[in-house]
Structure 1
Amino acid sequence: MFAILVALTTRRTRLVLAGTAVLVVLGALLGSTAFGKLQTGGFDDPRSDSSRAVDVLDAHFHGRANVLLLVTARVGEVDDPRVVAAGRAVAADLAAQPGARDVVSYWSGAGSALRSQDRRSALVVASVADDDDASDVVKRYASRAFDPPEVTVEPGGAAAINNDIGDQVSSDLAVAESIAIPITLVLLVVAFAGVVAALLPLAVGLLGMVGGLAILAVIGSVTDVSIFAVNLTSALGLGLGIDYSLLMVSRFREELAAGHDRASAVSITVRSAGRTIFFSGATVVVSLVVMLLFPPFFLRSMAYAGISVTVVAVLAAVVVLPALLMVLGERVNAWHVGGLIGLVRRRRQKAPKAAPEAAESAFWRRVASTVMAHPVLTGLPVIVILLVLAAPFLHVQFGTPDDRVLRPGAAASRTVGDALRERFPADLSGSMEVVVQQDGRGALDPAALSAYANTLSRLPDVARVDYALGTVVRGSQTAPPNATSVRFRAAGDDLLQVVPAVDYASTQARALVHATRALPAPSGSTVLVGGAPAVLVDGRSAIGDRLPLALGLIALATFVLLFLFTGSVLLPVKAILLNGLCTCAVFGAAVWIFSDGHLSGLLDFTPGPLDTSMPVLLFCIAFGLSMDYEVFLLSRIKEVRDTGASNVEAVATGLARVGRIVSTAAALLAVTFVAFATSSVRFIQMFGVGTALAIVLDATLIRGVLVPAFMRVAGGANWWAPGPLRVLHRRFGLHEHVEDVPQPVAAPPAPRDSATADTPVRSSGPAHQP
């Protein structure tokens, strides 16, 4: 396969670049339509009991009450005659909007539950089933298109939250990219000491982003895709494109410095670095595929985005980038940047000619040598540090995203949510919807319905129960049937709204869901429990039930891939354990920061429980990127080991040769993710900061300390495998080999701006994997 790629990029260069240009234009046009096809939400299990309850509500009850208008008197109270007239006018205006159904307000006789405790605000509630209609309604009131002089009107509820989060994600993405791309370009220029060489990784990264968005647009046309997948597309596309390009460009410049002509340099680069990139991409894809096992389409969307971006980044790096290098040749070193790097290099040039090993990183060789001289003394403190970081995860709490994922004051839905929690007797947005379906016998008998509602109201932590026959508090009827009863009965089914007295994400609320489901259903009926607390319970169950299978599959696939690459049984196990330890440390740090709120002032967010899907997402992304760097490092160590070097020498030389590339790639990739800390959406901040932390920990403590320490302690056992597996590896394993290429007659001195190469310069002999 790599021989075909070499022929394609060296002999059909113009065809490759012309085809790429056409695909980029088409991809940009297609990708620009992606936002209109993506959706908010996607955190629930569509096959769960709570989702079935939503389906019944949509079919028979015009959906959930997803639009709340907070109407606040500018002067006086909500019962003042002028405010009453204004409130009724707001309700009438909402009822006149397309798609608005079952409009209920405090002024229509819904009772004091829709009035704030200070009597200055009240609610107008409606169901708007169509997402576009709901978005239009929210935008109407957010823009003050209807705002009587006596009151202010602010939109809230699920529709407003979804609308505000979607708008915020789009604007935050633009801000993150405006920060990440310039900083990345500067760091690339510093790393390569040349503008042309620095632009190539950035170009490949942008290709990954464009290709990923185009594929998301296609997938979004046939299935549900979360809008949050765009963030992963942006960060991972840019990051992986840069990672892989660093390897390719560094290797190409090295081969030019060794005296190869451009065709030979491209050939060696594709067959060595390209092979590593192909294999690294496979390990990332394996880590992402397991997210397809989970029901929430938020996670499946992240899998779609991650897999698409990784495939595009790999193809761009092993096909498009070599064609560009073939065109550039020596001009890849053009537009040299001096400064401190130039001064350092000029000093080196005045020194006597160095041995081949001088091209290695002296810093990373010293690190490896120091660690292996004292593996236990250096390794154990790092393990302790990672375990301390992981400790907060022991008290993790989970939730589903609500308005509190937005910064205070960032959107009207957050303002309304805060008002509901602080000024109203109970938070309607956290209520449970209990649907009683009759088994073909007509409506439930009023006495049986009343008895069931009374039983529900007596459950611990229930503030009240609203249903067709009125309102019940602790078994006592506090309000008779009124104008709201019409929205609680339809097509022979009954809806009971159970309003908890506690936060929906609390342990008590989850216990209330289980207690409600444990109650016997009224005779001849089936009960479905939905609403925010039930969605959280079902979401935790959906993740937890499939988590062992996902972890097992990712461990098995990783083991098989690394075994095929190394022929070792121990090294894949080592990689899985160390990557798992790093991921646990990231989980703990995420709880410490975003749940315990230790950096809430700096990052400006409201602390809260972690979304149930985020640990899975963080694990898959962090594990995949860790395996990326594992392959980079093991390829170098294996290369040296295959020449007959000792275990200690192989590890030290391998880290010295690849350490600079891994650390540079990690720094650049961390920048693209940490830029999401500027987001106004809490779980996007957590995703960015958590992934950046995982990358930094992996490139420093894991690759720099624990890998050398582990391999020093294991010694010769690093490369052990039972006899049958050795036979299997000889037959099916991935053996590093670069076919003969014309050797340079003489290797000239390395150019001034080729110091990014992390491998020894060789003037003869086959080129090896970077």
Structure 2
Amino acid sequence: MATFLHRLGLGSFRHRWAVTIVWLLVFVGTGVGAATLSGTMATSFSIPGQESTTALDLIDERFGGGSGGTAQVVIAAPDGAKVSDPAVAAEITAYVQKLGALPGVESASNPLDPQRPTVAPDQSAAYSTVTYGTPAPEITAEQREALLDTVAEARDGGLNTEVSGEASMEPGSDIGGPAEAVGVVVALIVLAITYGSLVAAGMNLLTAIVGVGIGALGITTLSGFVDLQSTTPILAVMLGLAVGIDYTLFIVTRYRHELLHGRDPENATAMAVGTAGSAVVTAGITVVIALAGLAVAGIPFLTEMGIAAAATIVVAVLIAITLVPAVLGFMGRRALPRKLRAAGAVDPEEQGRPFYRGWANTVTRFRTLSLLAAVIVLGVVSIPFFSMQTTLIQPAQAGSTQERAQAMIAEKFGPGFSGPLVVLVDGANATARATAIAASFQALDGVSFATLGGARPDDAAALVTVIADSAPDSEETKQLVHTLRDRVDETGDEQIYVTGQTAVSVDVAEKLDEALPRYLVLVVGLALILLILVFRSLLVPVIGVLGFLLTIGSALGATTAVFQWGWLNALVNTDTEAPLLSLAPIIVIGILFGLAMDYQVFLVSRMHEAHAHGATPRDAVITGFKQAAPVVVAAATIMFAVFAGFVPEGNDTIKPIAFALAVGILFDAIIVRMIAVPAALSLLGHAAWWLPSWLRWLPTLDVEGAALERTVPPVTISELPETTPAPAPAEDSAPR
């Protein structure tokens, strides 16, 4: 692989104009495709074949009109009055008529209709269901704004009213906001400090943006042909930008190293791609496998998210090994700071090395204490993980009209009203069967009430509405869904289905919870195989995997404490305390697995190389650490900045995921890879690099390109171009 990448880097350098133009055409082409071929993205989650999803499809088929977006407008009577009072009732009726006449609205139910009243038991409030003719993602911004303005006007006019529901909330992704821009700026600053050159930093960031732009625009184009979740492009941008910057950083750092050790720009580029590029490709493959492995959950929308993000990673890797060397061909020695362009300049990687040598000396000298401290700290942070709860039902943004509407519904009607369960009774004599099952449900604990919700004129299907005593995202409601299904099973009627968005959430959450251990075993197994091939050792992979498990536990533990328990939630700009999104744990595990293995490979491979050259175990750890740690710290800082940028003002769905990734990167790079791993390797000594004889047939995966370095001779200073000669010392200045 190293030889192939060496040739690829050399070819990209020599044909830099062609390579650059091809990538620019790809970028423009995906932009045109996104502008002309994109479609709407889904904002709800479901799993084909689940009872709840099957029932929703049947409801849409039997009753029609079930695909339109809805909103719930809650109206509270003035203090001391009732909604049934003539004056209040007249005002509500007029208001509902106004809602029904809004652009795009198909109907607005009258809460005072004697046939189907939606009035609180104490007559203090009522709510109207506003139904649009199109699904929620297709409701235009103007239509949504008209609804919100009407609610605000009524509120200003003295009517206590709020609105909730998917039709009232803006769908789509939060890409390109100011917080994300701050993350990019931080990345630019870190790169500028690392390189000592703003030009090199800008080139690094620009190539990464091109890669992530192609990935995100390609996903947007694909949305016109495949149903994708609205969070898919956010996930791809967040991950693609982080790894794109880091992969370019690894190659450019090696390129600068080769320049300062005597190679001309052409050979330095080829060597950088052949050596650091090998590690980049290996790391990229690891991330791609982890993301594509999300398919093991057997959930189509999760598989699509994983494959889309994996495709963005593939683009980032291709950019790093083709476009980056082409751009280096334009830059030449200008990738170095001006003062280092002259031949014979000191390698800037040596700057700051004393700090990292001191770090490694301290960790390896007090190795037992260092290891225990790292494990205890991450273990304590992991404690909240064991009480983590997940759901697909996410709370409304704090302080919004949606939050106030949900609070009013819970107070006036009961917590279960915001997420009713719907029971479909399909087949002949549906009304009589529905009436019987409603009476049966009414007698169950946890049911506020169960009532007939409607029937087809030909009596071929009927609906039952079940309101729980508990909130939709509570454990009690989850248990109630299973209780209702058990009661249906007792009847032996196979044409009765329990559904509704609350039931869908329960089904998806349980499916994800079942898939999580299976997926964790998959990624841990992959980590062991990969690290055994890279380091030809058994104990080094075990240490790496155990460190990864600590990273996962601490990242999800911290996320649970902040978003579910409400600890320090002001730091992430949220006031909500609710279960985590069901998707979060499995996505976080997949991404952090790939990134943790990146750091393990880049850091420990240098230690392995030093040990292979005869260094003692402790000296090998120190030597490898001081060589690789500066780049790992810069890479982790950049990733932390990019992920953290999606937290303060981010999408409510993506915010906990971004937070978990940001703290996970911090814990993994600083505590696990730079404290726990060096300490553990020092404790194990020579045993760390032991490989049993029955495994020595395994191929060697040379991620550092050592074989290439042996076959490609170094270039001496005298072979540098005449434009940058080493200044000869004056005769009278020779040392005496």
Q: Same fold (TM over 0.5)?
A: yes
Q: Map 1:547-566; keep pairs closer than 5 Å.
A: 547-566=516-535
Q: TM-score, normalised by structure 2?
A: 0.88
Structure-to-structure mapping, 1:34-49, within 5 angstroms = 36-42=39-45, 44-49=46-51
> What's the CA shift string for 1:664-693, capped at 9, x where partnerless?
111111011111221254442212221110
2:37 and 2:283 mapped to 1: Cα distance?
Answer: 28
Query: Which amino acid in 1 is paired with 2:604?
Result: L
The answer (yes or no) to whether the contact 1:292–1:299 under 8 Å persists in 2 is: yes
Cα distance change of structure 1 residues 288 and 420 upon mapping to structure 2, 3 Å threshold? same
Which secondary structure does the structure 1 equivalent of 2:586 belong to? Answer: helix
Q: Distance in 2 between matches of 1:745 and 1:401?
A: 64
Give the equivalent residue in structure 2 for 1:303.
306
- Give the distance between the partners of 2:276 and 2:654, measured in 1 at CA: 33
Deviates more, 1:304-313 or 1:580-589: 304-313
**1:443 counterpart letter in structure 2:** N
Q: Which residue of 2 aligns with 1:528?
A: 497
1:546 aligns with 2:548: no
- The aligned residue for residue 229 of structure 1 is 232
- Counterpart in the other structure of 1:475: none
- The question of 1:124 aligning with 2:129 is answered yes
Say whether 1:666 aligns with 2:619.
Answer: no
**610, 618, 629: which one aligns with 2:580:** 610
SS of equivalent residue, structure 1 residue 598: coil
- CA separation in 1, counterparts of 2:688 and 2:35? 49
CA distance in 2, matches of 1:652, 1:579: 22
8 Å CA contact retained: 1:568, 1:718: yes
| Structure 2 SS opposite 1:123 | strand
Report what 1:494 is aligned to. 462
User: 1:426, CA displacement in angstroms?
Assistant: 4.9
Q: Give 2:426's aligned residue.
A: 437
Question: Once the 2 structures are TM-superposed, how far is the Cα of residue 724 of structure 1 from its aligned partner?
Answer: 3.6
Any residues of structure 2 matched to 1:220-369 within 5 Å, and which?
Answer: 220-334=223-337, 358=350, 361-369=353-361
Aligned to 1:12: 15
Tell me if the contact between 2:242 and 2:638 (Cα under 8 Å) persists in the aligned partners: yes
Q: How does 1:205-220 map to 2 (within 5 A)?
A: 205-220=208-223
Unaligned runs of 5+ in 1: 337-341, 343-348, 469-484, 750-770
CA contact (8 A) 2:13 2:328 kept: no
After superposition, the C-alpha distances for 1:136-163 in whole angstroms (9 at most, x for unaligned) are 7544312339967675764422333xx4
What TM-score do the two structures reach when normalised by structure 1?
Answer: 0.84
Question: Retained in 1: the 8 A contact 2:74–2:161?
Answer: yes
Evaluate the alpha carbon distance shift between residue 731 and residue 4 of structure 1 in structure 2; reply closer, same or farther with a 3 A threshold: closer
Map Cα deviations across residues 431-458 of structure 1 (whole Å, 9 max, x no partner): 11111222xxx22363x44332111011
Query: Which residue in 2 is equivalent to 1:177?
Result: 180
Q: Which moved more, 1:558-567 or 1:93-102?
A: 93-102
Distance 1:307 1:680, change over 3 A: closer
Q: Is the 8 A contact 2:446 2:469 kept in 1?
A: yes
Q: Is the partner of 1:676 in helix, strand or coil? A: coil
| Compared CA separation, residues 731 and 29, structure 1 to 2 (3 A) | closer
Q: What's the counterpart of residue 512 of structure 1?
A: 480
1:746 to 697, 714, 717: 717
Q: 1:466 aligns with which of 424, 435, 451?
A: 451
How many residue pairs end up in the alignment? 705
Q: Distance in 1 between matches of 2:677 and 2:458?
A: 64
**What is the match of residue 575 of structure 1?**
544
Give, in whole Å, the separation in 2 of the partners of 1:562 and 1:731: 9
**How far is 1:627 from its partner?**
0.9
Equivalent residue for 1:408? Answer: 399
Is contact 2:291-2:306 (8 Å) kept? Answer: yes
Aligned 8 A contact 1:66 1:128 in 2:
no
Equivalent position to 2:165, from 154, 157, 161: 157
Alpha-carbon distance between aligned partners in 1 of 2:429 and 2:134, rounded to the nearest angstrom:
24
Pair 1:635–1:132, CA change in 2 (3 A): closer
Question: Do the aligned partners of 1:399 and 1:610 also contact (CA within 8 Å) in 2?
Answer: yes
Question: How do 1:582-621 residues align onto structure 2 when only pairs under 5 Å count?
Answer: 582-602=551-571, 603-621=573-591
Equivalent position of 1:453 in the other structure: 438
Q: How far off its partner does 1:249 sit?
A: 1.4
Q: Indicate conservation of the 8 Å contact 1:406/1:681, yes or no.
A: no
**Distance of 1:180 and 1:33 partners within structure 2:** 30
**SS of equivalent residue, structure 1 residue 109:** coil
Q: Does 1:702 align with 2:672?
A: yes
Q: Secondary structure at the match of 2:654?
A: helix
Aligned to 2:728: none
> 1:656 maps to which residue?
626
Task: Give the partner amino acid of 2:639.
Answer: L
Counterpart in 1 of 2:196?
Answer: 193
Of the structure 1 ranges 269-278 and 714-723, higher mean CA displacement relative to structure 2 is found in: 714-723
Cα separation, 2, equivalents of 1:700 and 1:664: 11
How far did residue 594 of structure 1 move?
0.7
Report what 1:422 is aligned to: 411
Which secondary structure does the structure 2 equivalent of 1:307 belong to?
helix
* CA offsets 1:464-521 (integer angstroms, 9 cap, x no match): 11215xxxxxxxxxxxxxxxx45x7776112111000111121211121111111145
Counterpart residue identity of residue 403, structure 2 = R
Residue 55 of structure 2 is aligned with which of 53, 56, 71?
A: 53
Per-residue deviation, residues 386-441 of structure 1 (Å, max 9, x unmatched): 11111111122222233x242322xx433322221233345423111111222xxx
| Closer, same or farther: CA 747–108 of 1 in aligned 2, 3 Å | farther
Which of these residues, 709, 716, 726, is aligned with residue 686 of structure 2? 716
For 2:560, the aligned partner's letter is: V
| Runs (5+) with no aligned partner, structure 2 | 721-736
CA–CA separation in structure 2 for the residues paired with 1:173 and 1:183: 15
2:723 aligned partner: none
**Rounded Cα–Cα distance in structure 2 between residues aligned with 1:112 and 1:500:** 18
**1:291 CA displacement:** 1.6
**Corresponding letter in the other structure for 2:282:** F
1:355 to partner: Cα distance: 11
Question: Which residue number in structure 1 is paired with residue 726 of structure 2?
Answer: none
In the TM superposition, residue 592 of structure 1 has moved relative to its aligned partner by 0.8
- SS for the counterpart of 1:144 is helix
Structure 2 distance, partners of 1:18, 1:294, is 40
Greater CA drift, 625-634 or 531-540: 531-540
Q: Report the alpha carbon displacement of residue 657 of structure 1 after superposing the two structures with TM.
A: 0.3
| Contact 2:196–2:337 under 8 Å retained in 1 | no
- Contact 2:534–2:702 at 8 Å: present in 1 too? no
CA drift of 1:293 comes to 2.6
Identity of aligned residues (%): 26
What SS class does the counterpart of residue 88 from structure 1 fall into?
helix
Whether the 8 Å contact between 1:489 and 1:495 is mirrored in structure 2 is: no
Does residue 380 in structure 1 map to residue 367 in structure 2? no
Equivalent in the alignment of 2:24: 21
- 2: CA distance between counterparts of 1:221 and 1:271? 38
Corresponding position of 2:730: none
Does the 8 A contact of 2:229 with 2:301 survive in 1? yes
Residue aligning to 2:388: 396
Q: Name the SS of the counterpart of 1:143 in structure 2.
A: helix
1:653–1:59 distance in 2 versus 1, CA, 3 Å: same
In the TM superposition, residue 5 of structure 1 has moved relative to its aligned partner by 0.6
